[in-house]
Structure 1
Amino acid sequence: MSEINFHDAQQALGFLQPQLQRIETEVYQTRFPSFDYSRLMFVNTDGGMWDAGSVFYSGSIAGAAQFLSGKGVDMPFAEVAQSQHLRTNHFAGIGYEWSLQELQRAAALGRNLGSEKALAASKVAEAFLYGIAMRGSDEKGITGLINDAQVPAALVAADGTGSARDWASKDADKVARDVNAVLNAPATETKETHRANTLLLPTSRLQAIAGKRIGDGTDSVLKFIKENNAYTLETGQPLTIIGSRELETAGADSAARMIAYDNSREVMQFHLPGPHEFLPAFQKSPMLWEVAGIMNVGGVEIRLPKAVAYRDGL
């Protein structure tokens, strides 16, 4: 293999471009399950990397039908109470770089550049987006799935041992009751127009109810909830139950929180008009090449807060 002159821009790019194409192909085929926010909510990628933001509305409906006479003029009307919100997109980035030494060694040995740096940048980007989706950002003044102030929140019943709320102090029947209470809340609050099809639990509580026995001891609380919840009984569809480390201290006064919601585009969206992508490499110094990685994120939009319910203290 002839020697590559990395001080010649054309030769350097001739070596780097096919290398980076291979690396990016590997990166985009990789999945990071622990940061998979897409299974928790609809990810809206409408727009593009340079969009400034979007407008959305949240609210609820009101009104009641009434009996009328054939000549009645007092027609009742439905109302839609809405609040307008501007969802600003926020530009962010994480990339990687190659030194002259690394490039020279790879070229001399006829080896491909390793994909570890690109994979690391991509994983950091996914962790960043996961944090925005779940918690929002204090810096940008936005909230996420687990801490939106518009969502109705309450404490679980204080009827455990010594009037405690936590599940460790409650028997299996009371734990199951707490779970079904939060699952039923969205249907009650939305007049049965939305039903919770997803339940998020702190990982420690999910593990606890998987081993906690109910009734005659043949079923766990987790199995009982899966088979005996309003959503499954009415639709015949399985309830999605997911454990999340983010909920261990997400509630009021850092208490554990569980969340029940209708996981649909109508209720909740994560705006990601610019998913993480790498830009072409460029030489930024005599001995350093940079590959910038950029993204444009708008955050979580909960359009129908009453189709979501928080319960704390479990």
Structure 2
Amino acid sequence: MDIINYAKEIFDSEIEELKIVREKIDSEMIDVVNIILESKGKVVVTGIGKSGLIGKKIAATLASTGTYAVFMNSAEGLHGDLGMISKDDVVLAISNSGNSDEIVAILPSIKKIGAKIVAMTGNRNSKLGRAADKILNIGVKREGCPLNLAPMSSTTSTLVMGDALAAILIKMRDFKPENFALYHPGGSLGKRLLMRVSDVMHKDDKIPFCDKESSIDNVILVMTEKRLGAVCVMNGDLMVGIITEGDIRRALKRKEEFFNLKAKDIMTRNFTRVSEDSMAIDALELMENRESQISVLPVFKDVKLVGIVRVHDLLNVVGR
């Protein structure tokens, strides 16, 4: 047996079945989308067995992309979970045959509750198909299984049909990356799009600062102690400049007068700054998207210095 080629044959087989299912998409998809958009309730995805497993994924995808959705196992629905369905809901029932006992058994109750029923089935004339308000046809000619028994192509087509539905709803709802991040605060995208400069900046006694009249010795001492690669130069309560490690290296070229220099002599007066409310990803862009990259930014609240942030701090939470 040529295992590699046979694996590729299964891919080819399922891809061909997907193409067949794709051609079955018609105006009912528009109707289903409108039913969901106009619903005042939620989408309850239900199924049993392999279809149930795919249903869980579809419900999760919908829920994470702006559509209020939950999954209900059809068998559990027979024993009380139907209580989660209201008349304002849309029930997305999944059964390739359309005659799964558990799904068929809960259809009368769903009808009495008054929820809309959208069927994902490969059999329009099945009990589910006849009971449904709308149908998304997921019917395949053959499963990937060599016995043509285990659900393979049919579950793949169901999954992709669910993805297509979710993707359409994302566009119709104008769902944005920041909305997605709100539902994924623990993921890398959530951190990228939700984290603000104030969440990662060094503040209070960790801010390295000196007076504009400070000696170069004191500047170096502060920079060494705080270990942030820069010192904020102050004139009373106002920041008037910044000194970085690069400024120190450039000042060293003035060997004869180096130790007579003061902070005001080597500081950068027209420094780049950022607001504490700025998004971390925007601050990182500000530091990197320039001719000469900078590694440290002073952080302000209005005209007051409130912190300092390093490119490394931002990369740790935003990543690339």
TM over 0.5: no
Bigger share in strand: 1
Structure whose CA Rg is larger: 2
TM-score (norm 1): 0.21
TM-score (norm 2): 0.21
**Looking at both structures, which has the greater relative contact order when contacts are Cα pairs under 8 Å and sequence separation is at least 6?**
1
